[in-house]
Amino acid sequence: MILVYNRYETHYGQEQARLSRDAEILDDDDSEGSQRLKKTLSLLTLKTIDPYQKRLESLFVDRLVYGNDWDAFMSSCIKGWQHSIVGSFGLLL
Number of domains in the chain: 1
Within a domain: residue 19? no
Q: 11-59 pLDDT, tens per residue?
A: 777 777 777 777 777 776 666 778 888 899 999 999 989 999 999 988 9
The pLDDT value given to residue 83: 93
Q: Is the pLDDT of residue 90 over 80?
A: yes
Look at residue 25 and tell me if it is in a domain.
no
Assigned domain for 78 exists: yes
pLDDT recorded at residue 54: 92
Threshold 0.75, pTM exceeds: no
Q: What is the pLDDT of residue 7?
A: 74
In a domain, 7, yes or no: no
Q: Which of 66-70, 72-76, 86-90 holds the top average pLDDT?
A: 72-76
* pLDDT value, residue 29: 67
Q: In this structure, is residue 5 part of a structural domain?
A: no
Domain range for 51: 31-93
Domain assignment present for 15: no
Closest by alpha carbon to 34, among 69, 60, 3, 2?
Answer: 60
